[in-house]
Chain A
Amino acid sequence: MEILVCVKRVPDSAENEISVASGGADISREDLVYAVNEWDNYAVEEAIQIVEREGGSVTVVALGDSDTEEVVRREMAMGAEAGLMLVDDAFAGSDGLGVATILKAAAEKKSYDLILTGAQADDGAAQVGGMLAALLDRPYASLVNKVEVNGPTLRIGREIEGGSQELSDIDLPCVLSIQTGINEPRYVGLRGIRKVASVEIPVLDGAALGVDAAAVGQAAAKVRRVDYFVPAVGAGADMLTGSTKEVAAQLVDLLKAKGGLN
């Protein structure tokens, strides 16, 4: 099974206070901690587990700039044979469709049986996997939390509302977006990173990919972010202040008053 996994480098929203900068043109990028998108890490782990069972190889692909290499290497260190970076100034400002168009070109460089993406990334759009499948005219399933290979088809589980699992059979080749919790992504140690440090990662630009420059980037985007903002919100929470002891004492009084101590 030849598997391509699409990954993205994102600000880690669990680690960062994200704030709006430059009058809404961007978020404040200073001191941001970046990491691989949480969902993509599960996708890479799943690909590696499938290849461990079925044979084949895993390729990790990312759009981005030179900073992205670190993330690609980290994911390769989990056990992916190859990496691929798609870098071109003309890609900047692409919308979801633009990103999917670029990934489609990369996916067509080799015949992949299975393409995985994370279910969603930092913008919460959950769109690139489904668009990529449509562009490639391959069957698609989102929010996948189980993959079992049965010859020319996969038995997959999709996570649906309430945490129930929808089982389906899907024909290969196909595209799946992976939901967190499908596996336990392996730990990547320094040793693993060192092992892949010298593996060459091809860098392809638009010309090498054969992407029509008019189909990607800011100019081609049907969907554009106008600005970031912090919405004017309601009252919000009453914030308790003071030393740890004082805050705890206020909380005890509150919980007592509200019937929180059974």
Chain B
Amino acid sequence: MAANVFALIAHAAGKADDSALELLSAAKSLFPEAAPTALVLGSGPGLKAVAQEVAASFPEVWSFDQETLAYPNAELIRPLLVKVLPAGSIVILPHSTLGIDLGPGLSVKLGAAYLPDVVGFDGVEGTQLKVVRQEFAGQVSAHVQGDVSKGAVVTVRSGAFAPASPSAVGTVIDKSPEAAGLSARRRFVEVVQAEAGDVDITREEVLVAVGRGIGEQDNLSLVDDLAEAMGATVCCSRPIVDAKWLEKGRQVGTSGQTVKPKIYLALGISGAFQHLGGLKGSPFIVAVNKNPKAPIFQAAQVGVVADLVELLPELTEQIQKAR
């Protein structure tokens, strides 16, 4: 099946996001014979730099340079893409906060199938595009197929596809006039940066991370005691911050901090990709979880199936004795 394949390039400060080359390799693994086109939207010199950068890997780059696109607003981008994309296009987006914002409505407006948060491709059979997804917080995987005869919008999970190496010498096509006069019923105001917390977990080498499996706020003292005995710093998964048990600055993950410790003790954390997305530099991960099927055991080097409330006091006591 010959197809028009497009990839939306996320970028900031004149640099393409890491997702750009991952989308390219996703596009290539989907349709090896297709020549994917990069869509670069924004404004000013930063945009030109991104278009040039991306042209070193995509055979063709469509550049849309307009003041209104200076900040990526899905409500503006969606009607623009509906206008410029050929019927039946396959559009690949990162499964990021922009992709999540843009993708579902885009598929409706294009009359295309929507395949979100894809972690692998399983080939094309006739009009059926077969993908791999995860459900139930990563506890099981699913083969999913979409009828792409009217096109598809696919969002790709960060890290699921190894970045393609730059190869093509692409041409940049200026499509800016197509994006003139855009307006939307949602208007960007400003970005408020996340507050820095009282500790900087991004600099710590030994982190004790606590998740929802700790059960009750009172049990956090078990984690504090362990961290103190180890001389380590406490961080956490998102539900602990949502519950206001720990401050946002201690959250590890895509919507929290990116940490690069040497040792990461994951306590009662299931191992959602948004959590693991904040863990870089291949730390030595030790996971404790009462569920032997928890996805965290796939990411960890060492695992223990145990109840935290039983294990933590014993572990703390033995560490205290050992020093």
A256 contact set on B, CB distance < 8 A: 322
Q: Enumerate 7 A-B pairs (CB-CB under 8 Å) in ascending A order.
A: A143-B101, A159-B255, A163-B251, A181-B238, A234-B298, A251-B304, A259-B206
Expressed in whole angstroms, the Cα–Cα distance for A79 and B231 within the complex equals 46
Contact digits for B178-197, partner A, Cβ 8 Å, 1 yes 0 no? 00000011111111111000
Given contacts A157-B192, A181-B242, A239-B304, contact A134 B104 (CB under 8 A): yes
Q: With an 8 A cutoff between CB atoms, is B135 at the interface? A: yes
B314: chain A residues at CB < 8 Å are 244-245, 248
Chain B residues with CB below 8 A from A14, complex form: 137, 212-213, 270
Q: How far is the CA of A214 from the CA of B188 in the complex (A)?
A: 39
**Residues of A in contact, count (CB < 8 Å):** 84
Which residues 132-154 of B have a CB within 8 angstroms of A? 132-137, 139-147, 150
Q: Are A248 and B104 in contact (CB under 8 A)?
A: no
Over the window 222-262 of chain A, the binary record of Cβ atoms lying under 8 Å from chain B Cβ atoms (1 yes, 0 no) is 11111111110110111110001101110110111011111
Contacts of A143 in B (CB 8 A): 97, 100-101
CB of A70 closer than 8 Å to a CB of B: no
> Which residues on the A side are within 8 Å of B205 (C-beta)?
259, 262
Q: Please tell me if the beta carbons of B255 and A162 are within 8 angstroms of each other in the complex.
A: yes
Contact present for B100 and A142 (CB under 8 Å): yes
Contact of A131 among B108, B134, B285 (CB under 8 A): B108
Q: Which residues of chain A have C-beta atoms less than 8 A from B134's C-beta?
A: 124
Interface string of A175-190 (1 = CB under 8 A from B): 0000011001000000
User: Are A260 and B263 in contact, CB atoms less than 8 angstroms apart?
Assistant: yes
Q: Does A128 contact B (CB under 8 A)?
A: yes
User: Roughly how many angstroms separate A230 CA and B317 CA in the complex, as a whole number?
Assistant: 38
Residues of B within 8 A of A238 (CB): 301-303
Q: Please measure, in the bound complex, the distance between the C-alpha atom of A96 and the C-alpha atom of B206, giving whole angstroms.
A: 42
User: Quick one: which of B74, B114, B142, B310 contacts A228, CB cutoff 8 A?
Assistant: B142
Taking a contact as CB atoms under 8 Å apart, the answer to whether B270 and A169 are in contact is: no
The 8 Å CB contact of B301, one of A127, A237, A244, A247, is A237
Q: Is the CB of A237 within 8 A of B302?
A: yes
Residues of B within 8 A of A171 (CB): 185-186
Give the contacting residue for A229; candidates B140, B145, B192, B206; CB below 8 A.
B140
| B300 to chain A: closest residue by CB | A237
Confirm or deny: A198 has a beta carbon within 8 angstroms of a beta carbon on chain B.
Answer: no
For residue A170, CB closer than 8 A to chain B, the reply is: yes
Report B101-142 residues with CB < 8 Å from chain A CB: 101, 103-109, 113-117, 130, 132-137, 139-142
> Which residues of chain B come closer than 8 Å to A227, judged between CB atoms?
142-143
CB-based contact B187/A169 at 8 Å? yes
Least Cβ–Cβ distance between B140 and chain A, in angstroms: 5
Q: Mark B277-319, 1 if CB is under 8 A from A, else 0.
A: 0000000111100011100011011111110001100110111
Contact A164 B192 (CB under 8 A): yes
Cβ of A215 to closest chain B Cβ, rounded Å: 12
Instruction: Give residues in A with beta carbon < 8 Å to B.
Output: 11, 13-14, 16-20, 27, 96-97, 100, 119, 122-131, 133-135, 138-143, 155, 157-171, 174, 180-181, 184, 222-231, 233-234, 236-240, 244-245, 247-249, 251-252, 254-256, 258-262
Return the contact of B108 from the options A135, A166, A230, A245 (Cβ within 8 A): A135
Contacts of A167 in B (CB 8 A): 188-192
Query: Across the interface, which residues of B come within 8 angstroms of A181, CB to CB?
Result: 238, 241-242
Cβ of A27 and Cβ of B136 under 8 Å apart? yes
What's the Cα separation between A228 and B144 when bound, in Å?
9
The verdict on A180 contacting B100 (CB below 8 Å), with A14-B270, A164-B194 known, is no
B141-A262 in contact (CB<8A): no
Known A-B contacts A19-B293, A161-B97, A168-B189; the reply to A261 vs B135 at CB < 8 A is no
| Interchain CB contact under 8 A, B188 and A96 | no
The CA of A143 and the CA of B212, in the complex, are separated in Å by 21
Where chain B touches its partner, the secondary structure class is: mixed
Q: Please state if B248 and A222 are interface contacts (CB–CB under 8 Å).
A: no
When distances are taken between beta carbons in the complex, the residues of chain A under 8 Å from B302 are: 237-240, 251, 254
The answer to whether the Cβ of B256 comes within 8 Å of any Cβ in the partner chain is: yes
In contact, B263 and A255 (Cβ under 8 angstroms): yes
> B73 contacts the other chain (Cβ, under 8 Å)?
yes
User: Which residues does chain A contribute within 8 Å of B297, judged by CB atoms?
Assistant: 236-237, 239
A251 to B212, CA, bound (A): 22
Q: In the complex, how many angstroms separate the beta carbon of A58 from the nearest chain B beta carbon?
A: 21
Q: Judge whether A261 and B144 touch: CB under 8 Å.
A: no
Kindly list chain A residues whose C-beta atoms are within 8 Å of the C-beta of B222: none
**A129 near B104: Cβ-Cβ < 8 Å:** yes
Q: Closest residue to B241 on the A side, CB-wise?
A: A181
Among B132, B270, B284, residue most surrounded by chain A Cβ atoms (within 10 Å): B284
Query: A226 — nearest CB in chain B belongs to which residue?
Result: B143
Contact of B140 (CB < 8 Å), options: A18, A125, A126: A18
A18 touches B143 (CB 8 A): no
Give the complex CA separation of A217 and B146 in angstroms.
Answer: 15
Contacts of B107 in A (CB 8 A): 97, 131
CB of B232 closer than 8 Å to a CB of A = yes
A168 near B186: Cβ-Cβ < 8 Å:
yes
Considering the complex of A and B, which 9 residue pairs feature the smallest CB-CB distances, nearest first? A130-B104, A262-B231, A237-B303, A134-B105, A134-B108, A139-B185, A181-B242, A163-B194, A18-B139
Interface residues of B in 217-235 (CB under 8 A from A): 230-232
